[in-house]
Structure 1
Amino acid sequence: MRENEFRGKHIHAINVNKHLNGTWVYGYLSADNYINSSVYIGEIMVAPETVGRYTCKCDISGQEVFEGDIIESHIGGQVLANNLVIRYGVYQAYCPIDKCFMDSVGFYASGRNLPDMPIGRLEEYAKVIGNIIDNPELVNW
Structure 2
Amino acid sequence: MHREIKFRGRSIDTKEWVYGFLYINSNDGRTFVLVDGDLTEDFTAVVVIPETIGQYIGLKDKNGKEIYEEDIFCHPNAPKYKYVVEWEDGGFSIFIEDTGFKHNYIEVIGNIHENPELISW
TM-score (norm 1): 0.68
Offset, 1:133: 0.4
Contact 1:82–1:140, Cα closer than 8 Å, also in 2: no
Residue equivalent to 1:16: none
Partner-residue secondary structure (3-state), 1:28: strand
> If you compute each CA radius of gyration, which structure gives the higher value, 1 or 2?
1
Q: Which runs of 5+ in 2 are unaligned?
A: 25-29
Structure number with higher strand proportion: 1
Offset, 1:110: 5.0
- Taking the aligned partners of 1:35 and 1:2, their CA distance within structure 2 comes to 19
Offset, 1:73: 1.4
Give yes or no for the alignment of 1:86 onto 2:85: yes
- Equivalent runs, 1:1-141 vs 2, <5 Å: 3-12=4-13, 21-31=14-24, 33-38=31-36, 41-75=43-77, 78-79=78-79, 81-90=80-89, 105-109=90-94, 121-123=102-104, 125-141=105-121
- Taking the aligned partners of 2:93 and 2:45, their CA distance within structure 1 comes to 29
- Percentage of pairs with the same residue: 34
List 4+ stretches of structure 1 deviating above 4 A: none
Q: Which runs of 5+ in 1 are unaligned?
A: 13-20, 91-104, 115-119
Contact 1:68–1:87, Cα closer than 8 Å, also in 2: yes
Q: Per the alignment, do residues 122 and 5 of structure 1 end up closer, same or farther by CA in structure 2, a change over 3 Å counting?
A: same
TM-score (norm 2): 0.78
RMSD: 2.3
